Amino acid sequence: MSPGSFNVSDQRLIGLPQGKPAFEAEFIFNLDGEEFSFSRPVQYKFRDDVKGELYQPVTVLPAFTGRFDPEVIVFGNHEEKSFQVNRTVRKAGADLPELLISTSPDLQLKAGSNLQNSTINYQAKRANNEMETFNSTVTYRNHGQLDSLQELTTISYDHIPRIDYFRYARAKFVLTDIKIEGKKIGYIEGAGDKVLDALLQMGYEVSTLKEKDITESNLKQFDAIITGVRAYNIHPWLEEKHDILMNYIKDGGNLIVQYNTIGFGQPHQFKMGPYPFNIGRNRVTNELAAVNVLDPNHPVMNFPNKITAKDFDGWIQERGIYFAENTDPKYTSIFSMHDDGESDQKGSLIMASFGKGSFTYTGLVFFRELPAGVPGAYRLMANLIALNHKRGF
């Protein structure tokens, strides 16, 4: 079983609305010589002053749980970074265990002092310039045996029973050759992606922007403004800020819009860029689909990182979704790609100059690839951010 994966030993459980309870009570009755039986889950019953009597499932916990913070650590050349492993004792009277972290010869790792009783601080540094991405897991000694440290995740909403599930505690270490230009990023959060965390790992200073922050004077400080996935779907005020964002570009700014959705039969197309384009429903679902470069001399392919076919190795799940279509001729399409048996799609990454700055719309799934630790996705994102920093190109 690979780190972080889930092993279902009984295939008949797959597809059930919820997992089997930790404990079940079986009731057997005999009526007129006929035996009947049924089972009920063992649950925790408690009373809430507002909601009344409530029932929650019983979960059997391991002796210890833990998690990495952060879960993805990106190392450029000669970088040293810190991360933490948080340990939680789940068994009464147990002592915090000593942890053993799996790593690679390409990464030097040392444990620092405890920040708190339950948290260990680690320092890590690239030992050479080898490029790789690997998962790191944690084990601890339990009565002479090595056990894997598990991470507990809880999903709790009023309308469903609480769900507790476990996976191996893991971190993803990304050792890559990556250069960045520009430093300050303004990020407009969308529908729950982890791109902001990836930007911090790349070395950018990231500020989260709300509606009140989108002013011409405030935006001038940022080398790039990036909108999270589906940001225009969930923030109606973004279109109201269109003129301010366009003035930001015109004065030399760099606006990068990640994918947004458009429903079937929905007439409205968001006003995003300086020139017209539509959001389509085209996508490329094969993560191995060939990526053809339409404009190899474009700065986004060359500065500060030279993008090659290797940068599209190791992508997961898909290449891109909700591509641009019906684009104004002022936009440049950088890539073409397609699924087997389908026509070429050219809307995965479009960009245009406007005044002194640059606008980008991308359906490439950075929100999947960056948390997955795909080196090429980090390098391409760095080049998008550098579009208004052409020095040395």
Rounded distance between C-alpha atoms, residue 58 and residue 343, angstroms: 52
CA distances from 223 to 1, 47, 186, 370 (A): 43, 53, 8, 20
Of the listed ranges 12-16, 43-47, 192-196, 344-348, the least confidently predicted one is 12-16
Which of 189, 182, 179, 180 has its CA nearest to residue 211?
A: 189
Which of 288, 283, 254 has its CA nearest to residue 364?
A: 283
Q: Which domains, ranges and CATH numbers included, belong to the chain? A: 20-57 (no CATH), 64-175 (2.60.40.10), 184-388 (3.40.50.880)
What's the predicted TM-score (pTM) here? 0.88
The yes-or-no verdict on residue 111 having pLDDT over 90 is no
Q: What is the pLDDT of residues 170-209, one digit of tens each?
A: 999 999 999 999 999 999 999 988 999 999 999 999 999 9
CB count, 10 Å around CB of 393? Answer: 10
Helix 375-385 vs helix 195-202: crossing angle, to nearest 10: 80
Q: What is the pLDDT of residues 242-295, one digit of tens each?
A: 999 999 999 999 999 999 998 765 557 899 999 999 999 999 999 999 999 999
Q: What is the pLDDT of residues 261-272, one digit of tens each?
A: 987 655 578 999
Which of 82, 146, 71 has its CA nearest to residue 108?
A: 82
Query: Region 303-310: what's the mean pLDDT?
Result: 95
CA 123 to chain centroid: 23
